[in-house]
Amino acid sequence: MAAKGQPVNVQKEQVNMQKEQMFGLAEKEMEYRVDLFNRLTQTCFSKCIEKSARKAAPHPYSVYSFVIA
């Protein structure tokens, strides 16, 4: 039975819209977190990693082997 006198199909449409909005918000939050991580990582490497270490060829198993100069 429909709550508040609304037909069932209207309620389903509202639920679908809410799900789409929640998915959109989650997607925006994920984009924000990825951007934040990338900016923090870039800042950390530019401040903390010596320039000579960035220029040297890293060991294949090094923590810094994933850095793209």
Q: Is residue 8 part of a domain?
A: no
Whether residue 30 is contained in a domain is answered as yes
In a domain, residue 11? The reply is: no
- Residue 21 located in a structural domain: no
Q: In angstroms, rounded to a whole number, what is the distance separating the alpha carbons of residues 51 and 54?
A: 5
Domain enclosing residue 46, as ranges: 26-51
pTM (two decimals) = 0.51
Residue among 29, 25, 68, 27 nearest 49 (CA): 68
Q: How confident is the model at residue 66 (pLDDT cuts 50, 70, 90)?
A: low
Domain count, the chain: 1
Residue 2 lies in a domain: no
Checking if the pLDDT of 49 tops 90, the result is no
18: in domain:
no
Q: Is residue 17 part of a domain?
A: no
46-58 mean pLDDT: 66
